Structure 1
């Protein structure tokens, strides 16, 4: 069993970790392709493409539809329309995963500092957190465009270490993708890999997180937060 006794702060991924946002991302992706009279992708395909930010999602969708590599110019021309359609579909079909709000309430009440570290553009991250009434738990929110680099680069996590004046052993990364685990390893911090999210069809265990969890509520036991506090 991993020892998380020194943890003071927790950084959470968003898509595939706290929120299942693929249905809305798929709707926006399909709308952008339809406007270009291109073949439409499926929701399952979008689920396998999510994780490296909005531009990479659309690059993968366009490459699929055109059956060829996509130029930077063509991608740049398409992105405003994808962003528009996603803004229209931001919270139509997305949902919280089981126990997310309850466990966040518990961790917040226990005094942990909480952050969001996602590759989703910041302009979509904050409204999505607000829509699910999660924004009050997080004192740092980093989108994929908030800093010069995003996961799997460690920059967002080292930024949090600096902002909160933490040692690496005091910060924990929780995510569903190898990008989360690689970023944590590069930053020298512990990680929890969740099996239920989006990881390009790969077993999250292959990335060797500190701990693998099948359910979000397992985090409570790992951090030794009492069951009583969950019921309050």
Structure 2
């Protein structure tokens, strides 16, 4: 159990107490998944007769969802727009084998998950990543036990920035929006939170693709979630 008093933390001061429900984005918020994504992109490009892009370039493409990612990859390769669907299929095939490649938690994530668990706060994942890849990633990182539920990009009719995922979790856990919080790294996360009237904590280290997250009015914007657990 954490010895830190929850009422004396930066987080509690920001929110007026601990939330009942924390909803997390996955890629770019909890985990750095770019190495595996980049490897799958490069293998897909090579399968389709193009040169690999490399991890550094692919990192600049991540954050807008799978379709946009692969669209940028085929644009880079000079491939025809009509090849998008086959490129997505190839990417998903390869990503099934590379999703855990050099996968790592961002600094402060492990401490934050443990803190909320210690204080009885429900935690869930709401990600635009296809759900088929999510459970194994969480298990591989040893954090699956922290999450009471998961929603992926193909679970509901719409994805973030639509608020449906967040509203669904609020309903499942019978929590009011002002008693929950969203944690994310991109405009998709913050726009969804704003639409659901849920406070949002934004991280600056993720895959925002150069977007200024402060324009979406997060209640906090920082570079390490563990900063929220410090004494106020």
TM-score for the superposition, normalised by structure 1? 0.89
Q: Would you say 1:59 and 2:83 are equivalent positions?
A: no
Partner of residue 115 from structure 2, selected from 89, 103, 106: 106
Contact 2:46 2:52 survives alignment (8 Å): yes
User: Residue 172 of structure 1: SS of its match in structure 2?
Assistant: strand
Deviates more, 1:125-134 or 1:37-46: 37-46
Q: Name the SS for the 1:217 alignment partner.
A: helix
Q: 1:21 aligns with which of 30, 33, 36?
A: 33
1:91 paired to 2:91: no
The 4+ residue runs of structure 1 with deviation greater than 3 A are none
User: Match for residue 154 of structure 2?
Assistant: 145
Partner of residue 10, structure 2: none
Displacement of 1:162: 0.8
Instruction: Report the CA distance between 1:2 and its aligned residue.
Output: 2.6
What are the ranges of 5 or more consecutive residues in structure 2 without an aligned counterpart? 1-12
Alignment partner, residue 3 of structure 2:
none
Q: Say if 1:53 and 1:121, in contact at 8 Å, map to a contact too.
A: no
Alpha-carbon contact 1:195-1:203 (below 8 Å) kept: no
C-alpha distance in structure 2 between counterparts of 1:67 and 1:86, whole Å: 20
Q: Secondary structure at the match of 1:79?
A: helix
Residues 92-101 or 39-48, more deviating: 39-48
Q: Deviations over 1:135-171 (max 9, x none)?
A: 1111110111111111111010000111111111011
Deviation (angstroms), 1:6: 5.9
Contact map agreement 1:55 1:79 (CA 8 A) in 2? yes
Gaps of 5+ in 1: 225-232
Partner residue, 1:37: 49
Distance in 2 between residues matched to 1:160 and 1:199, nearest whole Å = 24
Report the Cα offset of residue 53 of structure 1: 2.5
Matched, 1:7 2:31: no
Q: Are the aligned partners of 1:39 and 1:65 in contact in 2 as well (CA < 8 Å)?
A: yes
Q: 1:97 to 1:125 in 2, by over 3 A?
A: same
Q: Is the 8 A contact 2:74 2:87 kept in 1?
A: no
Q: Considering only aligned residues, what root-mean-square deviation do their CA atoms show, in Å?
A: 1.8
CA distance in 2, matches of 1:3, 1:128: 30
Count of residues in Structure 1 that have an aligned counterpart in Structure 2:
220
